[in-house]
Amino acid sequence: MKRISAPLTISLTALFVLGMTTSYFLPTLSFWSAFGQTETLVQDGNNRNGNTLGNNNTVSYSYNIYNNSNNPASSVRLHNNSVHYYENNNSTGYLVYPELANNTQQRLPAVIMIHEWWGLNEDIKSQANILAREGYVVLAVDLYGGEVATTSDRSRELSSSVRNNPSSAIDNLQSAVNYVKSLEIVDGSKVASLGWCFGGDWSLQLALNSSSSEDPLAATIIYYGRPVTDTDSLSGISWPILGIFGDQDQAIPVESVKQFASALNASGITNEIYLYEGVGHAFANPSGDNYAPKETDDAWQKTIGFLKRYL
């Protein structure tokens, strides 16, 4: 396979990938929302399906469906409890980690998990459990002050309230980062954020509002969150970003995803941006109408692989 140095081109089959390492530069873009998938990176510009990936891109794709039943991590026992990580409101987070973490001197990486627009519901807690079994301390945060929405109208009201008060949301998320870094079982240099949809928005916003010198993250994961394409805004990020998107997402146009990738690359930010063909917004939510199980499993594999590489 040859390294690609021509202008960015895109080919969609089952999956589109834009990847880069710190030594490569490609376009980037910005937004808010998230969920996952997996793959193998190589220093090359084509994927194994023969698709050209773009300017100096070095990604090779391997479709590997994630199956919990075949994963030894599924038998890991967990410790979980509710924690007050943010003093300024009634938010109570869900903290979960492998039980063995209490019986070893080894410190674990941590992930701040940010809920969709429904709030911190049982689906998000279940996802936190799945991730914790992979060897992570997971804190699922609450941006709704304890409320969980059950209707779209209420979800819209709650999410709009948070977006209208962004400083409070960032304060909440930064408190979550500081909380996990204070735990004896956590390696404070290995903290990432992960969010879906509304949570994907805030996963990126947390990165944009985290100083590389004072309160850095180790990685940021965005599932169909709204991209940010301004290179000046992105320039403060010095850690890798994983973005998962669907090409049928009516809220996030394909062009905005391409611009996001271009802006990240132009800013010198290591990134992996995946665009799944034929799936829409929230395709990784098992309770939603757009749920796409194969793409969701593949995206989750990509998420786990990304975390293992950078945490």
Give me the average pLDDT of each 10-residue run along the chain (311 residues).
Answer: 27 40 30 30 30 28 37 79 89 92 82 97 96 98 96 97 96 96 96 98 97 85 97 95 98 97 97 98 93 98 98 97
pTM, two decimal places:
0.79
Output the pLDDT for position 30.
30
Q: Return the H-helix or E-strand segment holding 81.
A: strand 78-83
d(CA 225, CA 90): 25
> Coil, strand or helix: which one is 147?
coil
Paired tokens of 288: 């939603």
User: Contact at 8 Å (CB) between 140 and 110?
Assistant: no
d(CA 118, CA 154): 8
Q: What sign has the CA pseudo-torsion 64, 68, 72, 77?
A: positive
User: Contact at 8 Å (CB) between 79 and 185?
Assistant: no
**DSSP at 37:** B
User: Contact at 8 Å (CB) between 243 and 228?
Assistant: no
d(CA 224, CA 201): 8
Using CA atoms, how far residue 94 sits from 139, 153, 236, in Å, is 6, 25, 29
**DSSP at 218:** S
Distance of CA 41 to the CA centre of its chain: 18
Residue whose structure tokens are 């709650």: 158
> Coil, strand or helix: which one is 187?
strand
Phi, psi for 25 (deg, rounded to 5) = -130, 130
Q: What sign has the CA pseudo-torsion 4, 6, 7, 13?
A: negative
Output the pLDDT for position 297.
98
Dihedral, CA atoms, 308, 39, 56, 220, nearest 10 degrees?
-40
Domains detected in the chain: 15-310 (3.40.50.1820)
Distance of CA 103 to the CA centre of its chain: 29
d(CA 304, CA 118): 24
d(CA 178, CA 155): 27
The residue among 100, 24, 28 whose CA lies nearest residue 55 is 24
